[in-house]
Structure formats: structure tokens, C-alpha cells
Amino acid sequence: DRLTSSGASDIERAAEAALRPRSLDDFVGQRVVRDQLSLVLDAAKGRGAAPDHVLLSGPPGLGKTTLAMIIAAELGVSLRVTSGPAIQHAGDLAAVLSSLDEGEVLFIDEIHRLARPAEELLYVAMEDFRVDVVVGKGAGASAIPLSLPRFTAVGATTRAGLLPAPLRDRFGFTGHLDFYEATDLVRVVTRSAGLLGVDIEPEAASEIASRSRGTPRIANRLLRRVRDWAQVRGDGKLNLAAARAALEVYEVDPRGLDRLDRAVLTALCTRFGGGPVGLSTLAITVGEEPETVETVAEPFLVREGLMGRTPRGRVATLETWRHLGLVPPADTTT
């Protein structure tokens, strides 16, 4: 797994669990979403009723799962977790829904990947707190309505735009998480170091924060790698020198680019003269799956102004050439 990929493996999920904020007050940054959500939750608590369904959108690693857990904790109810890809058939979802207890929170990660029949079943469940259980087959089939307890659905998606409008409309509140400011990531790193029981110097926390692609998951991961370095090769101290040395070992550059990012940019400039070049061609050139380049490397590179997307393909920007220490062709203007 890449050090700067924003997704998490199952093993990493376990390491992450220890670092998760447990309350809204503990949740660093994202002031707007935090404020909005705390209103929704306080109002529901005041009324003694379950809140509206909540949709959380934003790139991986920014805290959607964490917020779902916090919502359940703040409401004092338990959380059930499932995901779009885990639900193969509408019946799987019906089974989950019918086993919910009153007031529980159902977290559906990657909700945009639900299959159509499950999605349709979910609309009805969210709106009418009912599922129609189909018994029998063909002409003799009939639907038996089954009423559900009042639950709160919390959906997470990397792109709210991918959700069909009818499903999106069932959510009373949508919170959009954006990449974190460096100052917030410094707080994330410092807080996590405290939980890991290690002292970190402020300069080291800033260094890690500035190389974390605006993503708490990556910040926590880099912190663990710096801790390893300090323990094995350093004197145990998490200072600036340790942070720099560790991140050099892991090939994370000062802007948070890693080897794949640099390979993509270098190919774009040196093999294709700055483009435009198609994504698949670019991916093959660096020996990666097009999907990996598209979902892992590209969004960050585009956001940083290090790659441009045009209808004819990917292009290098002036910034790309500069970052690689190369001279741009005379006609490069942006």
C-alpha cells in the first residue's frame, strides 16, 4: 500500500481506531460541518427524537466514518456499519434494516455503490420506515410491508454528485468535508502523538502536516512512520530531523508527492512533452492501473496545480515542470 494513498486497508483500520476522536469537541477542524451537525443533533436530542438522515461527502480519509461514530455516540445509541459494495442484493439490506433497534444509526459507507434494487428499497425505508418483503416468485409473488423502527441513516460518499437525486433528497442534512488546512493537521498530528504516548516537537508536527495532502488519515500514517524511524534509527525523539529523514526513506517529498506521483509527472513531461496524453497511456507508462492513477494520484496533483485535465488528455502545467526542476517548452502558458 502506498504511504500517501488516502484509502485504508483493514489492518490500518485497526491502528486508526485508537486515534479516532470520540466526540464533536474532539473532532479537529471542519468548523462548518461540525457546527451544522451539532445543531442537528442538539435539536433532535431536545425533541427526544431521532434526527434526520445525514449524508457526508468528501474524499477518503477526511473523517466521514469518524463523524458517523460520533453521531451515534452523541445520540447515545449504537452504530451499525455496512457499505454499498457489501450489499449484493436488496434482501441483504432488508435484513440489516429489519434487525435495527429503535433510534439506531445505520452507517452506509460508499453509498453511491449500492445496487439499484437496494437503493430503491432504501428510499422507502428512509422515508416511510418500511420495507416491502417480497415472497414468492413470478406472477404469484406478493409484497408484505414490514414496518421498521425509526432509525437514522448516515451515508458516506466520496462524491455526492454520484448519488441519484431521489436518494440524495432523502437526506435532511448533507455535510461536505473538505481537505484540511495545515494548521488543523498539526493539531491532528499532535493529538495523535499524545494518544500514542510520544512527544513530538512542533516543527516535526508541521513537517508531517504539510506533507499529508490535507488528509488526517495520511497525517496519522506518516506520524507512525516517523515514530518508527525515531525508534529504530534515531534517538527516539520526534523532531524535525527525524521527520525529514523518515519521510525521505518513504519517498514522500516536501509537497507530499510520492514516487508514483513523481513517476506520473515525469512521464507526462519527459515522455509526452507535457501532453495532452490519455490517462490509460500515462498509467501504462508508469506501470500502474489506470484506476489507481485516476483515483489516488490525480485528484491531488490536479488540486495542487501540478496536472491539468483537458478534453484531449492530461497536461503538464508550468508548476509541473518547475516542481520537477525541468525547463518547460516555450509554449507552456499555464
Looking at the annotation, which residues are catalytic?
A: 64-65, 109, 158, 217
Q: How far is the CB of 234 from ligand ADP (least distance, A)?
A: 24
Helix (H, G, I), strand (E, B) or coil at 213: coil
Of 221 and 323, the one with the shorter C-beta distance to ligand ADP is 221
Torsion of CA 85, 86, 87, 93, to 10 degrees: -130
According to CB under 6 A, which one of 2, 4, 5, 21 is a site residue for ligand ADP? 21
Rounded to whole angstroms, the Cα distance separating 257 from 30 reads 24
At its nearest, how many Å lie between ligand ADP and the CB of residue 120? 25
**Residue among 221, 217, 243, 219 at smallest CA distance from 230:** 243
Q: Judged by CB under 6 A, does residue 20 bind ligand ADP?
A: yes
Hey, what's the torsion of the CAs at 259, 260, 262, 267, to 10 degrees? 130
| Least CB distance to ligand ADP at residue 288 (A) | 22
Is residue 28 a contact point for ligand ADP (CB under 6 A)?
yes
Looking at residue 263, the DSSP 8-state letter turns out to be H
Q: Which of 4, 5, 57, 66 binds ligand ADP (CB under 6 A)?
A: 66
Q: Which stretch binds ligand ADP (CB under 6 A): 112-120, 131-139, 214-222, 297-305?
A: 214-222
Span from 21-29, 43-51, 125-133, 262-270 in contact with ligand ADP (CB under 6 A): 21-29
Q: What angle do CA 69, 160, 51 make, to 5 degrees?
A: 45
DSSP letters along 192-204, please?
Answer: HHHHHT--B-HHH
User: In this chain, which residue has its C-beta nearest to ligand ADP?
Assistant: 63
CB 276 within 8 A of CB 332: no
Rounded least distance, CB 128 to ligand ADP, Å? 28
Contact between 220 and ligand ADP by CB under 6 A: the answer reads yes
Measured from the CB atom, is 19 or 96 closer to ligand ADP? 19
Query: What is the DSSP code (8-state) at residue 101?
Result: P
CA distance 33 to 24: 10
Residues 148-207 within binding reach of ligand ADP (CB under 6 A):
156, 188
Instruction: Classify strands 130-135 and 142-147 as parallel, antiparallel or unpaired.
Output: antiparallel
Using CB under 6 A, pick the residue from 2, 5, 19, 57 that binds ligand ADP. Answer: 19
Task: Identify the residue among 2, 5, 24, 27 touching ligand ADP (CB under 6 A).
Answer: 27
Which CB atom, from 152 or from 317, has the smaller least distance to ligand ADP?
A: 152
Question: In which residue are the cell numbers 434494487 written?
Answer: 117
E-strand ranges in the chain read 54-57, 79-83, 105-109, 130-135, 142-147, 152-157, 173-176, 308-310, 313-315
Residue 70 or 75 having the CB closest to ligand ADP: 70
Least Cβ distance, residue 80 to ligand ADP (angstroms): 16
Contact 89, 208 (CB under 8 A): no
Shortest spacing between CB 138 and ligand ADP, in angstroms? 41
Q: Which of 5, 65, 152, 317 binds ligand ADP (CB under 6 A)?
A: 65
Phi-psi region of 8 (alpha: psi -120 to 50; beta: other; left: phi over 0): beta
Closest CA to 303 of 267, 259, 261, 270: 261
Contact residues: ligand ADP, CB under 6 A: 16, 19-21, 27-30, 60-66, 156, 188, 216-217, 220
